[in-house]
Amino acid sequence: MARSTVWHPFTQHGTEPNATMIARGEGAWLETEDGRRILDGISSWWVVTHGHRHPAIVAAIHEQIDKLDQVIFAGFTHAPAEELAKKVVGLAPAGLDHVFFSDSGSTSIEVALKMALGYWRNIGQTRTRIAALEHGYHGDTIGTMSAGARGVFNAAYEPLLFDVVRIPFPYTGREQETLDALDAACREAPLAALIVEPLILGAGGMMMYGATTLHEMKRICERHDALFIADEVMTGWGRTGTLFACDQAAIAPDIMCVAKGLTGGSLPLAATLASARIFDAHYSEDRSRTLFHSSSFTANPVCCAAALANLRIWETEPVLERVAALGALQERALGALTAKSAGFKNPRRLGTITAVDLEVDDSGYLASVGPALRAHFLARGILLRPLGNTIYVMPPYCTTEADLALAYDAIRDAPKALSRGP
């Protein structure tokens, strides 16, 4: 096959095989042009919730494209965006009364950071320090890379990044160290904001921590008047077992970012939700206090229509029951895997997400076993994309027990398959 002109994300083209051509998708499955079926075990990078091509979402997209495809969102608005904003506010934790639309998770975080810094500037206080959890990942724009962990993801771009205060990850049994470090950081100098992935760090290795710790981090921020930013880009829309991960800690962040599952995974759309406190600090007759951010496709009408269809699914179908059922299936499958199979450690689950670490000599994102694992799973008709030696399963909510069995059989066989070599 001739080399494609496409430059793929997170892909080392010098070592990776040619990309697999996908022609169709339905439910939990993808299909190649020659009819080969592949189980989407990671929801196509964590975005697909109800399954590929949900009929209600597809119908909403068709209906909207015949009425309005795109309009500038500065000085103009449209019904899908207005209705969507109201519905998202109604579902979000209390107090998040304003919605700023964008088109990706990274951008929604970038907006959140700008909102936070703009807030302090506009009320006349000099607060510019951002704190973030160790090992966190918030995106690939300059601001989000700065907030994320430093390492292979962003080493080449270090000169562009700003410093943040690193708070140690709350490992089991060491949660108080995290809380003490956050409190100390707030006491050292005023903190503008803390940004966290609630309950689970995604690209950092599916590292999980408890709701009590999340609640206490929010309480410390409140005590020191530091803003609390919840990055729910991955965790939102049911992944952790509740609509939003923050719900499990009974907290309302000052700013919350959602994306990925906002449209059910059908089209790119993101939103940054903010409290009235944040909005009001930007509301002025002084034009210099404007939130200076936009993208050409902000609140695209077709994307908003898809998101509205997604929210109607949440309103009219038993989605949380499906989430709970899938979580139970995941728990049983993970337990059976680790009980019967050698070579795995640290099995864990949160909501519909499971993860387990393959025992290897070189762990981490660039673990040499990573590409071989991906190839093994693809050969078995499973789309899994391990984070180095961390294998995780994050399927659409329509995934069946039989589907999961295929994925976990492939995981169980991975150590033996890899030992045989290519």
> CA–CA distance from 354 to each of 15, 16, 322, 357 (Å)?
28, 26, 16, 11
pLDDT digits (tens, 9 = 90+) for 122-131: 999 999 999 9
420 falls in which pLDDT band (50, 70, 90)?
Answer: confident
Q: Report the C-alpha gap between 97 and 299 in whole angstroms.
A: 17
pLDDT digits (tens, 9 = 90+) for 360-377: 988 888 888 999 999 999
Q: Report the C-alpha gap between 221 and 227 in whole angstroms.
A: 6
pLDDT at 418 over 90: no
pLDDT on residue 95: 98
Count of Cβ atoms closer than 10 Å to residue 101 Cβ? 26
pLDDT at 153 over 90: no
Domains annotated for the chain, with CATH where assigned, are 57-316 (3.40.640.10), 319-420 (3.90.1150.10)
422 falls in which pLDDT band (50, 70, 90)?
Answer: low
421 falls in which pLDDT band (50, 70, 90)?
Answer: low
Report the amino acid identity of residue 416.
K
Q: Report the C-alpha gap between 331 and 279 in whole angstroms.
A: 42
Neighbour-count burial for 166-182, b at 16+ CB within 10 Å, e otherwise: bbbbbeeeebeebbebb
